[in-house]
Amino acid sequence: MGAHDRGHVERVARLARYIAQREGADLEVVTVAAKLHDMARDGPDHARRGAEIARGVLRSQGYEEEFIERVAHCIEAHSFSGGVEPRTLEARVLSDADKLDAMGAIGVARAFLYSGKVGRSLEDTLRHFEEKLLGLYDLLYTEAARELGHERHKFLVEFYQRLREELFSDPGDIN
Ligand code: FE
pLDDT band at 173 (very low <50, low <70, confident <90, very high): confident
What's the Cα-to-Cα distance from 21 to each of 29, 47, 141, rounded to whole Å? Answer: 12, 24, 15
User: Into how many domains does the chain fold?
Assistant: 1
Going from the Cα of 9 to the center of ligand 1, the distance in angstroms, rounded, reads 7
The pLDDT value given to residue 42: 77
63: CA distance to ligand 1 center in Å? 23
Structural domain for 166, as ranges: 1-175
Q: How far apart are CA 12 and CA 6, in angstroms?
A: 10
pLDDT digits (tens, 9 = 90+) for 117-143: 999 999 999 999 999 999 999 999 999
Q: Residues within 5 Å of ion ligand 1 by Cβ?
A: 38, 98
Tell if the pTM clears 0.85, that is, is over it.
yes
The CA 159 to ligand 1 mean position distance, Å, reads: 22
CATH code, domain with 149: 1.10.3210.50
What is the distance in A from the centroid of ligand 1 to the CA of 168? 32
